[in-house]
Amino acid sequence: MPANCHAECRRFAVLVCDDDESYRCSQARMLNLFNWGERSVSFKAYEAASGAEAIEVLKRQKIDCILLDYDMPVCNGIDVMRTILEKYPELAVVIVTGAGDEMTAVEAMKIGAVDYLNKGGISIEQMEKTIINAVTRARIEHQLEDRSKKLLEATQKKVMLESIASACHHLAQPVTVLRTYIVLLKRKANDEESKQMLVEAYKAVELISDIIWKLNRLEDYKTEPYLEGDEKRKGTRMIKLENR
């Protein structure tokens, strides 16, 4: 924390990604100099000359916001943004464009950028406001997405458990009937081969009954890969049943 930044000062790590070295350095320097004075906000600036360098910085440092130049060689800012947001969805991306590129900035915001800045005469006050708003908005959106995902998973799990309970209810009676008939047939069987077949059939019914018993008492569940060898179900998962 800077020496003149009071105890409640919020510090943001900002990555400036631009292939223009002089512009990149000046923006980073402006952010770092913003630390001085009685302010409630400070910045720690990092630099990257390309999308590849930006990704390397993100691997090493926790970054709150990236100021990403749109017009870069090899890989433009939009493509870099897509790659970055796949790995760091919580990151606030601010696209930096040239004069007259507002439509490009709007398109960038449609696919993930939180805001944009125009290179022509960015003031430190404007940059401060944009960065703080972008980070705040990105964090809120990420939290909402995370909550929505958890709510969807909980709803899907609830529906699954209710469906399992219903299936168990409908299967229980036929299994009981099968068990009864197997016992009766075993008593009437005259040869050992028939008796042994009925013994194995009874074991199978008991196994089904045990599975129903476990499924009917599920309050939560984990999944595991489906049985190997079935190409039609490759990549699918099934409920993992624990032993009693």
**Do 110 and 182 reside in the same domain of the chain?**
no
Q: Write down the pTM of the prediction.
A: 0.62
Tokens of 229: 């060898």
Residue 36 lies in a domain: yes
**Do 197 and 94 reside in the same domain of the chain?**
no
- Measure the CA dihedral 79/85/88/90, to 10°: 140
Residue 224 lies in a domain: yes
Residue 79's CATH number: 3.40.50.2300
**Do 163 and 114 reside in the same domain of the chain?**
no
Q: Pick left, alpha or beta for residue 16 (phi over 0 → left; psi -120 to 50 → alpha; otherwise beta).
A: beta
User: Of 69, 103, 122, which closes a domain?
Assistant: 122
Cα separation, 113 vs 137, whole angstroms:
11
In total, how many domains does the chain have?
A: 2
> Range of 16's domain?
10-122
**Do 98 and 188 reside in the same domain of the chain?**
no
The predicted-structure confidence for 222-243, as pLDDT tens digits, reads as follows: 777 776 666 676 777 777 776 5
The predicted-structure confidence for 75-113, as pLDDT tens digits, reads as follows: 888 899 999 999 999 999 999 987 667 788 888 888 899
CA 181, 184, 190, 193 torsion: positive or negative?
positive
**Do 159 and 220 reside in the same domain of the chain?**
yes
Instruction: For Cα atoms 65, 2, 41, give the angle at the middle one, nearest 5 degrees.
Output: 45
Rg (C-alpha) for the chain, rounded Å, is: 31
Residue 226 lies in a domain: yes
Cα separation, 118 vs 121, whole angstroms:
8
Residue 130 lies in a domain: no
- Per-residue model confidence (pLDDT) at position 240: 77
